[in-house]
Amino acid sequence: MIDLDGAYDLHVHSSPDLFPRIADDRQMVADAAARGFGGGFAPQSSGLETQSEGLSILTGGRLIPEAREVMALVKQHGAALATGHVSFEEIAALVAEAEAQGFRKLILTHPYDRAPGLTLEQVRALARPPVRIEFVFCSITPNWAFTDAPTIAHCIRR
């Protein structure tokens, strides 16, 4: 068994949610604590997805001022920023800003999932010291199957 003492899972989907989940928020926190995970935080409720077209953190191909301000605040507080479900162009702009600000904790969120749906070449173009690539188990599960373990292993090796 893998030693998980002090580990953190920064990307958890629990119920309530729009999709069936194996555990609710309280069960997830209790299970993580029982297995030695670090970080004590209270369970949070889920929001509802919207049918809007969304928004972009770019205008004219450049990060909007609010995005740069959020990055500066995240850096100031020693926190990490995850890219989430944004496009390759937006991630590339975040990576460039991270380098400009001396930012050290940028997480490229599940690159092979539908959002952002990156290619190996795009992941390689984004990989650099301030960027941590997050591969999630959900990506290879039968319910989602955005990719498979050998593809993720190949990306890690490259």
pLDDT 10s digits, 50-91: 455 667 899 999 999 999 999 999 999 999 999 988 999 999
Cα–Cα dist 76/56, whole Å: 24
- Of 8 and 141, which is predicted with more confidence? 141
pLDDT band at 45 (very low <50, low <70, confident <90, very high): very low
d(CA 83, CA 91): 6
Structure tokens at 9: 């899972």
pLDDT (tens digit per residue) in 31-40: 888 888 777 5
- What is the pLDDT, as a whole number, of residue 46? 43
Residue among 85, 95, 90 nearest 126 (CA): 95
pLDDT at 69: 94
| pLDDT tier, 47 (very low <50, low <70, confident <90, very high otherwise) | very low
Task: In whole angstroms, give the CA distance from residue 42 to residue 88.
Answer: 32
Question: Are 58 and 64 within 8 A, CB to CB?
Answer: yes
The pLDDT score that the predictor gives to residue 2 is 61
Residue 18's pLDDT is what?
Answer: 66
- Model confidence over 90-104: pLDDT tens digits? 999 999 999 999 988
Residue 51 burial by CB count (10 A; 0-12/13-18/19+): exposed, middle or buried?
A: exposed
pLDDT at 38 (0 to 100):
72
What is the strand order of the sheet 131-134 is part of? 81-82, 106-109, 131-134
CA pair distance 95, 17, nearest whole angstrom: 30
Residue 156: helix, strand or coil by DSSP? helix
pLDDT tens-digit profile of 112-126? Answer: 998 899 999 999 999
Map tokens 């959020």 to a residue. 70
Averaged pLDDT, 2-20: 73
Lowest model confidence (mean pLDDT) among 5-14, 66-75, 144-153? 5-14
* 3-state SS, one letter per residue, for 85-140: CCCHHHHHHHHHHHHHHCCCCEEEECCCCCCCCCCHHHHHHHCCCCEEEECCHHHH
* Dihedral angle computed from the Cα positions of residues 26, 29, 32 and 34, in that order, rounded to the nearest 10 degrees: -70
Q: What is the pLDDT of residue 138?
A: 83
pLDDT at 127: 95
